[in-house]
Every structure is written in C-alpha cells, then in structure tokens.
Structure 1
Amino acid sequence: MRIDLHTHSTESDGTQAPADVVASAREAGLDVLALTDHDTTRGWTAARGAAQAAGLGFVPGIEISCQRGGRSIHLLGYLVDPGNQALVTELEQARRSRLTRMDRMVERMAADGIPISIEEVRAQLAPGATLGRPHLADALVAAGVVPDRAAAFRDWLHNDSRYYVSHYAVDPVRAIALVAAAGGVSVIAHPFTGSRGRVLDPAVVLEMVDAGLDGLEVDHRDHDDAARDLACSIVREHDLIATGSSDYHGAGKLNRLGENATSPEQFERILAASTAGGYLPPG
C-alpha cells in the first residue's frame, strides 16, 4: 500500500484543485492520500468526493503554521474535527494575518521599484484559498520579474529577504493541544530541513514531544541523511509515529506524489490515535 500524507491544493499554495490532486494521486499509483493545506480545511469535501469516486483512501489533514523564537514550524494535524471552535478560531486568525502581511510585502517591493501590485497577487489566488508567499511568487512570474517560483523564493521571498514580513502563527505547543482537543494526530512536517532557514532546534522538538506530539515526518525530499538520522533517533527514543510524504504542490514545487511514503504499520498508528475519525478507506 502506497500512502502519501502531505499534499497541497489551490485551497492553500498548490497549483491543482483538490479533486485534481486526487486524480494525480491515482495516476501516481497511490492507495491513500492526505490533503494538508495550510491553515484551512476547505478542500476536504471536494477531495473526499473525488477519492471515493476513484477508490482511493482519503485522510483529512491540515498544516498549521506555528512559530517559536522567529523560527517557522509546520505542524501536520490528521483526522481533526473541522468544527472544533478553538481550532477554527486559531486558523481564522492566521488567515487574516496572512492578508495584511502580503500588503506589507508588496509595499516593500514597490518601494524598490519591483513592478507588482496586491491586485496582481490576489489574482493568483483561488476563491477561499489561504494567501501566501507562493501567490506572490506566481504574480512575480506572471509579471516577468522572475522565471519561476523557485527563483522568486531564492532571490526575493526567502525568510532573510528584506521583503520578508512575518505573520501570526500559533506556538507549536499550543497547536499540539489544539489538534489533540479536536481529536486529531499531530506530526511535525520536515523538522530538520536546512533549505527553509534555520534547522529546528531538537530541544524544541523534545518540548513538543513532552506536550503530546504524536510523530515526525522523517522521509522528506528536504531532509538529508543527517536530518533523517536525527529524526529517526528521536522517533525511536520516544516511540513516535514516523511518516514519509511528498509535500506535493503540483507545478509549484519539484516534489512528486509518492516520492516518499508512510508505511502501513505507521499509518495504522495514526488511525488508532485519532478520536475524531474521518478516514475514508480505499475501495
């Protein structure tokens, strides 16, 4: 069984609609797919319907934006209750912050003569989706400023750029509590990748473990051998769930569906740990 537990659609920063992500997953030979858009559950209904029609297993998920000491941390929450009010409130606050943040980033770029407007950025956004830097990158591509998303992030939009503006993000320990209260299972996404800025301090990971963290995303394209070894050692020491995923964004990134996968044994642990349910099995 091939299981990919980290993908994105146009409801956040992917380039395919939720149903199209499912269709691509079927073409890639996957058996189970999780949709984990940033700070939103809006794509679940369409993805679930498409998965049921295609005979794929579907896991409703979310990638929650967290922050500690200026370091971005992404927490995957699987099988949460989307109606949990505390979780909904937190996600809406993050979404509102992203809107004002993008205005400020565009203003900084305009001050340096970079020809982009907030209207052009919003034109890249699917209705109801969560606004983020990838949409600014797409606007820069459309305006001919850069050739592709990768160049936009490399040259203009990385965390140390003069144009970077942070946005509201919940503390990771609180995010773990929110996921647990919503009946879900929490896994840190790509915890030790160096390509996204400073590597997450293992001490913070251990604090998250003490707070009830369920697992780590071990196998990810942005983890080198040292990062995987470190993640595996923490998983073994604390009996955590170990996942592997693609972090698929459609044409927005090089990541391909199924390039990393979660074992059926580890996936069963996720299902057993959830109290909210919501898993659609294949078939």
Structure 2
Amino acid sequence: MDLHSHSTASDGGLAPDELVWHAHNQGVTHLALTDHDTCAGIEAARQAAKSAGITLIPGIELSVSWAGRTIHVVGLGIDPAAPALQAFIKQVQAARQARAEAICDRLQKIGLTLDWRSIETHSIGRSHLAMAMVAAGWVKDHQKAFDYYLKQGKKGWVRAEWPALEDGVAAITAAGGIAVLAHPGVYTLSHAKMRALIEDFMAAGGEGIEVSTRAQVDKALQSAAERARQYGLYASQGSDFHHLAWRWRSLGRLAALPPELTPIMSASQLRPYFKDHG
C-alpha cells in the first residue's frame, strides 16, 4: 500500500498509467495518486489500475499556507470533479502560474531566458523550471538549479502565495475525501509550532497524518506516530514517490505502521469510495 505518489500530471517522472504498472510490479495493492494541485492524471491511472488489478484511490496533494509557511495536505478518496475542489485547484493553479512567471522574470534579469508556458504540465512548479534549466545546460542537475537559483535567498526565489490551510482542508472534505497532513517531518517547526499546526489542521476538519514515509523506522516515523496517538489522528503511509532515480522514495517500500495506530484505510470517509469503485 502506498498512499502518496506523483505522476507527470504534476512533477513526477512516470505517466499516470506507467506509475500504476510500476506500483503493480512493486507489489503495491492499493495506490493513491496524489499529484500536486491537480487531478488530471486520475482517470488514466484508474483505467490502468483496472488492467493491473490494483486499487486506485483518487487523491491530491494541495499546497496551502499556514503561519507564513507552505504546508502540504493530501486528500484521499476524493471526487475529482467536485465543484469546491475544482474551484480550489483553479485558484492554486493561478498562483503557480504567477509564481513561475515571476521566477522567469527574475532569471531573465540575470541573463537566463526561460518561458514557463513552453513547459508541458498540468501543475507548473519550481521542479519543472529546474529541469528546464538542466535541459538548457545552465546547471548540471536539478539540485544545482535550486542551490544556485531557485531556493530562498537566491536570485530566482519568489515566495509562494497559496490559499489558507483551512480552505484546502475544506475543499478536500467537500469532495468527499479525508485530509491528511503530509510528511510532517519535513517542516522545521518547534514542538509548540507543530502542536499549533496540528490543532489548526484538526479544527479545519483534518483527520489524518502521514506516519510511514520511508522503508525504515526512524525518528520522523516515531515522532509522527506519537502525534497520531496524542491527537487521535488516522495514520497514513506513503512514499511521496516522484522519480525512479530517487531511491530514498521507492514506491511501496514503507515501514509498517505501529500496530496501536488506526490506519487511514479504516476512515469512514473512504468507505463510500471503495463501495463504488473497489
């Protein structure tokens, strides 16, 4: 089971159908496609899942803002066509395009010409700009693009302007899904700030937290598991798979959830989806 993955509909390296077959080859029985701020790959993935004989859970990973920070919220078991979710996606896509244009304008001022409109994707992001910079020969690899130009403090940095956390959670729940706080271990927050984030997330209607995101048990898993216990959150597991070369995010290679936690798959919000599509 892997409940967090990306395809070429956003910033992944495999097309939705290729992702599904890779999941099948990895022994994954349940896969959630959770592309960044788009549902564009779900139908192709769903058709491939029928052939591959695995369960495809429609999902999304929304970019939201909380206390001046970018936070990611995964939605599982969503109706991709839900009007509230589509309205939110439209808002975020406008923010993504505005940011990409602003980044390209900044790069232009230092002699690096890049047209974000020429990049084929449903959800433009800095990763796409980084790959375009590699293709143009300006940098050696994706990471160098961030290190030299795209991360905070560099010439191409532009702060993202995402909708509020509560609006993202509301869009997911309005689409019949369950909202999950994605990869809590990546946020550099104090204990007090993390507590505030989780409390605000739950107040908005969030009910899950990613616990298992790696193949091995580590401090991040132990910390997330403790928060799931403390707050009574459903526990999710997902690799955040993007590219085959990123072996630290191998699809389906995840540590087991601690047995005392309640798995996200038991969440009542997901049951109608499985009844209709399982």
Measured after TM superposition, the shift of residue 148 of structure 1 is 1.9
User: What is the aligned partner in structure 1 of residue 85 from structure 2?
Assistant: 87
1:61-76 map, 5 Å: 61-76=59-74
| Alpha-carbon separation, structure 2, partners of 1:243 and 1:163 | 35
The AA in structure 2 aligned to 1:153 is F
User: What is the aligned partner in structure 1 of residue 26 from structure 2?
Assistant: 28
1:154 counterpart = 2:147: yes
1:1-283 map, 5 Å: 3-113=1-111, 115-118=112-115, 121-126=116-121, 129-193=122-186, 198-199=188-189, 201-202=193-194, 203-221=196-214, 225-251=218-244, 253-254=246-247, 255-260=249-254, 266-270=263-267, 272-274=268-270, 277=273, 280-281=277-278
Compared CA separation, residues 159 and 59, structure 1 to 2 (3 A): farther
Identity %: 35
| Alpha-carbon separation, structure 2, partners of 1:183 and 1:169 | 22
| Alpha-carbon separation, structure 1, partners of 2:147 and 2:22 | 28
The AA in structure 1 aligned to 2:45 is A
Compared CA separation, residues 69 and 268, structure 1 to 2 (3 A): closer
CA deviations over 1:44-63 (Å, ceiling 9, x no partner)? 11000001101011100000
In 2, are the aligned partners of 1:4 and 1:258 still within 8 Å (CA)?
yes
| Alpha-carbon separation, structure 1, partners of 2:135 and 2:89 | 29
In 2, are the aligned partners of 1:5 and 1:262 still within 8 Å (CA)?
no
| Alpha-carbon separation, structure 1, partners of 2:213 and 2:148 | 24
| Alpha-carbon separation, structure 1, partners of 2:146 and 2:181 | 22
Give the root-mean-square deviation of aligned CA atoms: 2.5
Scaled by the length of structure 1, the TM-score of the pair is: 0.86
Structure 1: gaps (5+ residues): none
Measured after TM superposition, the shift of residue 223 of structure 1 is 10
Compared CA separation, residues 102 and 143, structure 1 to 2 (3 A): same
| Alpha-carbon separation, structure 1, partners of 2:142 and 2:69 | 22
Count of residue pairs brought into register by the alignment: 270
Compared CA separation, residues 106 and 247, structure 1 to 2 (3 A): same
The AA in structure 1 aligned to 2:181 is I
Compared CA separation, residues 140 and 55, structure 1 to 2 (3 A): same
In 1, are the aligned partners of 2:58 and 2:76 still within 8 Å (CA)?
yes
Compared CA separation, residues 71 and 83, structure 1 to 2 (3 A): same
The AA in structure 2 aligned to 1:260 is L
Scaled by the length of structure 2, the TM-score of the pair is: 0.88
Higher relative contact order (CA 8 A, sep 6+): 1
The AA in structure 2 aligned to 1:234 is R
The AA in structure 2 aligned to 1:36 is T
CA deviations over 1:236-272 (Å, ceiling 9, x no partner)? 01221111211111257442111226759614323x2
| Alpha-carbon separation, structure 1, partners of 2:79 and 2:118 | 31
In 2, are the aligned partners of 1:176 and 1:212 still within 8 Å (CA)?
yes
Structure 2: gaps (5+ residues): none
Compared CA separation, residues 42 and 276, structure 1 to 2 (3 A): farther
